[in-house]
């Protein structure tokens, strides 16, 4: 067996055996299979797909490439959430402390940015002093003491995924269902939480462009979880516009803080509340007759949820508040048309953040945590000519071409888009 034989087999749309998949994963981990060979196989998988059996074997191979995290010393109900990625998706920064304030234990491991999508760890790295690399012992202790922790993926957990995750980002193979499913589920299962909720994004700014694709992905990942003895639920949410208003690492941290203080965007708050409700219903942490909306909103209104974020940041040696670089160029971009916003080219906006320096074009690239932009109008809002659409924070003045790209990312019509929803389905 050689890696070239495996590449040719998948190139010719044939199903890989468990032995072949393990050979690839283990070989890439030990360095005997090189980046260019792994890239070739990833592209063949991206183009030709994988069966459910192949995807399950790939997930297990990735899990077995590292060690399982032992969370048995954490007292209480352990829950975890993962998003399939989007633009402005800072859900974890709000949800994790909110869940902790409700009494759950959240031991979360996250990744850095992939393609046009932002990464939770990049956002946390933008907080002065915040440590995302901690020992397993300190991680467990913090979750017991504070109720939550978010750390970067350990090199010992799902080792193959960390390498493949970075390679996919720079080889055009991010948007592949079997690669997304195996990456997400290997990390989540290896971490050992009691219940996992997947926030599956759908829309022009997501990896899944249609509701059918998102539903297929959700069902596949739920099946993988069940096969591994883990309870998995999914919520399918829109990525036809950025989540919230702020896009960019520091800007998104600030918007998360605002949300935990009850002053954030309603779309972000609503999704976080719905995910909290899923966990409560699945675990029975509160009596069935509890008014869950009042309970969860009460944790925000009382300041308990925000305090959990402060406690987590302090425990991981970070310090608030967030401060943007005072030397940034600030540009206001205004509308040159009138009508209802019926489409926002969210993928284009994600790529614009990359061009500003807030995302990666290659895996070793350093990113600028300060740059980004705020979008001031959302789907189905009526805009007039010269209305403020974006405020952009950049290291140098924007060109006329860049300003035009921002303006053309907004499509308008004389009627609103009645098919648009923030949340499509809960599985």
Residues belonging to the active site? 82, 161, 168, 183, 187
Closest CA to 136 of 62, 77, 72: 72
Which DSSP state fits 82?
Answer: E
Asked if residue 84 lies in contact with residue 94, where contact means CB atoms within 8 angstroms, the answer is no
CA 167 – CA 150 distance, rounded (Å): 23
Q: Which residue has the tokens 């592949």?
A: 176
Q: List beta partners, residue 208.
A: 202
Closest CA to 234 of 2, 24, 424: 424
Q: For the sheet containing 329-334, what is the strand order?
A: 246-247, 372-375, 388-394, 329-334
- Provide the 3-class DSSP secondary structure of residue 138: helix
**Burial class for 323, CB neighbours closer than 10 Å (0-12, 13-18, 19+):** exposed
**Could you write out the DSSP letters of every residue in 287-327?**
-TTS-HHHHHHHHHHTTHHHHHHHHHHHHTT---S----TT
Q: How far apart are the first and last CA of the chain?
A: 40
Describe the chain by its helix, strand, coil percentages, rounded to 5: 45, 15, 40
């Amino acid at each position: 067996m050689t890696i070239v034989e495996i590449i040719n087999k998948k190139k010719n749309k044939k199903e890989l055996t468990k032995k072949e998949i393990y050979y690839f994963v283990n070989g890439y981990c030990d360095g005997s299979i090189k980046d260019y060979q792994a890239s070739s196989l990833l592209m063949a998988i991206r183009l030709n797909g994988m069966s459910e059996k192949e995807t399950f074997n790939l997930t297990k191979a990735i899990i077995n490439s590292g060690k399982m995290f032992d969370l048995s010393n954490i007292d209480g109900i352990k829950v975890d959430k993962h998003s399939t990625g989007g633009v402005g998706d800072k859900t974890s920064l709000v949800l994790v402390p909110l869940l902790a304030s409700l009494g759950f234990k959240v031991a979360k491991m996250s990744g850095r940015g992939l393609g046009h999508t932002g990464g939770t760890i990049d956002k946390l790295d933008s907080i002065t002093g915040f440590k995302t690399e901690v020992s397993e012992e300190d991680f467990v202790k913090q979750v017991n003491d504070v109720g939550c922790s978010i750390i970067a993926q350990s090199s010992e957990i799902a080792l193959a995924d960390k390498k493949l995750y970075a390679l996919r980002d720079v080889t055009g193979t991010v948007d592949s269902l079997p690669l997304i499913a195996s990456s997400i589920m290997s990390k989540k299962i290896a971490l050992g939480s009691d219940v996992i909720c997947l926030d599956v994004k759908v829309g022009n700014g997501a990896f899944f462009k249609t509701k059918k694709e998102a539903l297929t992905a959700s069902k596949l990942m739920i099946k993988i979880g069940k096969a591994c003895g883990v309870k998995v639920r999914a919520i399918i949410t829109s990525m036809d516009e950025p989540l919230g208003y702020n896009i960019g690492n520091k800007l998104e941290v600030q918007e998360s803080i605002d949300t935990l203080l009850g002053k954030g965007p309603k779309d972000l708050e609503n999704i976080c509340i719905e995910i909290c409700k899923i966990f409560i219903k699945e675990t029975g942490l509160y009596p069935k007759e509890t008014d869950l909306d009042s309970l969860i909103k009460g944790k925000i209104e009382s300041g308990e949820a925000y305090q959990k974020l402060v406690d987590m940041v302090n425990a991981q040696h970070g310090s608030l508040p967030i401060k943007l670089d005072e030397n940034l160029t600030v540009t206001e971009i205004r509308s040159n048309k009138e009508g209802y916003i019926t489409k926002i080219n969210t993928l284009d906006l994600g790529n614009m953040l990359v061009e500003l320096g807030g995302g990666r074009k290659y895996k070793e690239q350093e990113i600028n945590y300060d740059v980004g932009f705020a979008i001031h109008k959302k789907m189905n809002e009526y805009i007039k000519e010269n209305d403020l659409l974006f405020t952009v924070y950049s290291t140098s003045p924007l060109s006329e071409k860049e300003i035009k790209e921002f303006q053309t990312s907004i499509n308008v019509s004389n009627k609103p888009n009645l098919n648009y929803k923030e949340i499509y389905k809960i599985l």
